Structure 1
Amino acid sequence: MTHYDLAVVGAGIVGLAHALAAARRGKRVVVLERDVQANGASVRNFGFVTVTGQEAGDCWEKARRARDVWAEVAAAAKIPVLLNGLVLTARLSESEAVIDAFLKTPMGEQCRRIDYPEALDFVPALRREAVATALYSPHEIRVESRTAIPLVAKYLAERYGVDYRWQTSVTSVAPPVIETPAGIVEAEAAVVCAGDDFNGLFPGRIAAYGPTRCKLQMLRVKPAAPVSFRTAVQSDLGLGRYLGYSLLPEAQALKARLDAEWTAHRQNGIHLIVTQSADGSFVVGDSHHYAPTPDPFASEAVDRLILDEFDAVLDLPSRTVTERWVGTYASAPDRWRFTDRPSDAVRISVVTAGCGASTAFAIGEETIADLYGDAS
């Protein structure tokens, strides 16, 4: 029986991030995953590593660091970076005030306001009426989630010798004994990264943080004619939702107007994100509905609202929808993540917001430093 330094439960991006941080310290790591491959939020998102707009402080700082690690891993693992940067279009005067206020904060470093011609150079399909002004950020990168996550796992195995136990549920974590239906795995420490599975391992400890689930709807849209974007795209609705903007005092007037005039979008937690894939299609979303157990059904009315905003911002006539899907992730009303410590040798790491892909690599470094001490 192989004896490991660390067992990681969960092969989504949060689990892989912890495996990377430990492996870089020379630890012998095994990742245990109940499915045959990562199949949750990590592969159902935009692949958009978002920095600009994350909540000021810890979240924004983690996103800045995680973006840098993503760049390193993408280059080493031969993961294509499909887009760099973000253009957030603003057609409301209240949005302009939020952008100006944001640019005065430390988070606005290297970001700038741009006009329609420059925005069009980044995103050739922008409608003129959708851009009174725009915010440009150089900080973001975009990968294709459904292929990038398996490539990260493959890279960890080949570069660092990380082992995987696929289709292996974990029933108990008490290092050095990790129990599974297939037998015991021996590891001196463990990190549980089970996403929105709140009732498996350590349910009582997880329940203390009051988590629920967020359900989102997303689509893949194919343009009728080829078009090439240089950046991801967001719109006014993002200024009203992303906490790095919406918590600014100047955002109050914008949120009031959005509530009054974009009522259905706001009630369904909709804001526009558009990222382009290598085949020219776009991943488009998304919506947000909260429940302990969200229903699995996608609403056509919600998809219609998302597409209405897509069409208001982008001029892509005769575009078609080729895929639709639903995802869920952990959420909490008063925090964007938590790390729990059941024992000296065990950590539970959960991102309770939609920024797991954007922050996980930095969270992994923090958790592993705490587990093993700051000395690498």
Structure 2
Amino acid sequence: MSYDLAVIGAGVLGLAHALAAARRGKRVVVIDRDAQANGASIRNFGFVTVNGQQAGDCWALARRTREIWAEVAEAARIPILHRGMLVTARRPEAEAVIDAFLETDMARQTDCRRMTRDEAAALAPLSASVSAALWSPTELRVESREAIPALAAWLAAAHGVEFRRGVEVHAVQTPRLETSAGVIEAETVICCPGDDYSGPFADRLAAYGLTRCKLHMLRIRPETPVRLEAAVMSDLGLARYLGYAELPEARALAARLDAEQPEQRANGVHLIVVRSADGSLVVGDSHHYAATPDPFAPQSVDALITDEMEATLALGPWRVAERWLGTYASAPDRWRLTDAPDAATRVVIVTAGCGASTGFAIGEETVAGLFD
């Protein structure tokens, strides 16, 4: 059988491209070497983040992606576990960044506002040190490890997308793909390899100077159930997420954090806490960069993350129920790349930790470029 589009990679970015093509009535096959979702797409927070993304196309694509997530979640019966985001502040410098962000078009277009501590405490169990918060109503949270398989199953059932799992792609010369399961023919090809740069386009990807980011993730179970009605971030996020960190007011906050929390800053730690359906909390994360990150997860790094959690949230006694490592593609000079080996072939990678937050809109963009 011949296809209109072959997508290599069944992570969230690959599925996003499959959706965009299927909505145009295209015959789509998705090829993945793994038997099930196993990479960055299921190892993250499931936190579809708009505000905090870098101003410009990243923020705009995140906003569109959030709209598509809302549509797809309803159609595919993917639970949205909570909505909105609290970016908390414990320092005057952090409050200044929040106030500056509220003056941007990004904040105005998404109805962000400043909350007092008491207002924010109605949504999350804040520690006594939190003085104020930014409220963004835009964000969504899904459970990644469940949402990605559900999304693939819905694409197959509702849109006729075919999946070839456990199949390695050896070479691509569109319209011909040579795979471990034989030759597949497709009019167009989109390769979404994530942070694996060793596939059929390795020579082209080498020119981009790509590396990888490793991050620590934890699942926390409080002994007493806590109310968490939105994702929670902290001062460290205001100095890391570029939508905030590139504001002039963030320089003073970064300098104070470098002096007061040098270990967190050196390990790329910032705080995100989100709630799961069973009441547990997914907490992270850290950032370490290398061409081949080591597989080890020092407890000292986990402690830096949970220290920031305890400084921000009053959870009472808790225990770690689960730990895991995530990895994603990274580049020193861009947050995404689209490479065109020929007129009918694209290689698409999100080179930052925002694939789930921007992927659907990138899929629309790529497919429009190929078929329009």
Counterparts of 1:126 and 1:194, CA distance in 2: 39
For residues 59-74 of structure 1, the aligned pairs below 5 Å read: 59-74=58-73
Q: Which residue matches 2:123?
A: 122
Say which SS state the counterpart of residue 122 (structure 1) adopts.
Answer: coil
C-alpha displacement of 1:282? 0.4
Confirm whether residue 371 of structure 1 aligns to residue 360 of structure 2.
no
Identical-residue share of aligned pairs (%): 63
Confirm whether residue 350 of structure 1 aligns to residue 362 of structure 2.
no
Q: Which residue matches 2:221?
A: 222
Counterparts of 1:102 and 1:201, CA distance in 2: 42
Counterparts of 2:326 and 2:121, CA distance in 1: 31
Say which SS state the counterpart of residue 80 (structure 1) adopts.
Answer: coil
Q: Which residue matches 2:306?
A: 307
Q: Which residue matches 1:113?
A: 114
C-alpha displacement of 1:105? 0.5
Counterparts of 1:40 and 1:149, CA distance in 2: 11
For residues 185-264 of structure 1, the aligned pairs below 5 Å read: 185-264=184-263
For residues 138-153 of structure 1, the aligned pairs below 5 Å read: 138-153=137-152
Residue 223 of structure 1 aligns to which amino acid in structure 2?
A: P
Q: Which residue matches 2:87?
A: 88
Superposed CA deviations along residues 134-187 of structure 1, whole A, max 9, x for unmatched, are 100001000000000000001100111000000001011112211101100111
The answer to whether the Cα contact below 8 Å between 2:212 and 2:292 also exists between their aligned partners in 1 is: yes
| TM-align CA RMSD | 0.6
Counterparts of 1:51 and 1:319, CA distance in 2: 30
C-alpha displacement of 1:228? 2.5
Q: Which residue matches 2:6?
A: 7
Say which SS state the counterpart of residue 353 (structure 1) adopts.
Answer: coil
Residue 6 of structure 2 aligns to which amino acid in structure 1?
A: A
Q: Which residue matches 2:339?
A: 340
Q: Which residue matches 2:164?
A: 165
C-alpha displacement of 1:70? 0.3
Residue 90 of structure 1 aligns to which amino acid in structure 2?
A: A
C-alpha displacement of 1:221? 0.1
C-alpha displacement of 1:117? 1.2
Residue 111 of structure 1 aligns to which amino acid in structure 2?
A: C
Residue 325 of structure 2 aligns to which amino acid in structure 1?
A: V
Confirm whether residue 30 of structure 1 aligns to residue 29 of structure 2.
yes
Superposed CA deviations along residues 42-98 of structure 1, whole A, max 9, x for unmatched, are 000000000010000010000000000000000000000001000011011111111
Superposed CA deviations along residues 192-213 of structure 1, whole A, max 9, x for unmatched, are 0010011112112111111100
Residue 126 of structure 1 aligns to which amino acid in structure 2?
A: L
C-alpha displacement of 1:128? 2.1
| TM-score using structure 1 length | 0.98
The answer to whether the Cα contact below 8 Å between 2:62 and 2:358 also exists between their aligned partners in 1 is: yes
Counterparts of 1:240 and 1:166, CA distance in 2: 40
The answer to whether the Cα contact below 8 Å between 2:226 and 2:315 also exists between their aligned partners in 1 is: no
Residue 259 of structure 1 aligns to which amino acid in structure 2?
A: D
Q: Which residue matches 2:361?
A: 362
Say which SS state the counterpart of residue 340 (structure 2) adopts.
Answer: strand
Counterparts of 1:182 and 1:199, CA distance in 2: 19
> Which ranges of structure 1 fall in alignment gaps of 5 or more residues?
none
Say which SS state the counterpart of residue 208 (structure 1) adopts.
Answer: helix
Q: Which runs of 4+ in 1 moved over 2 A?
A: none
Say which SS state the counterpart of residue 122 (structure 2) adopts.
Answer: helix
| TM-score using structure 2 length | 0.99
Counterparts of 2:306 and 2:200, CA distance in 1: 39
Counterparts of 1:46 and 1:103, CA distance in 2: 25
Say which SS state the counterpart of residue 305 (structure 2) adopts.
Answer: helix
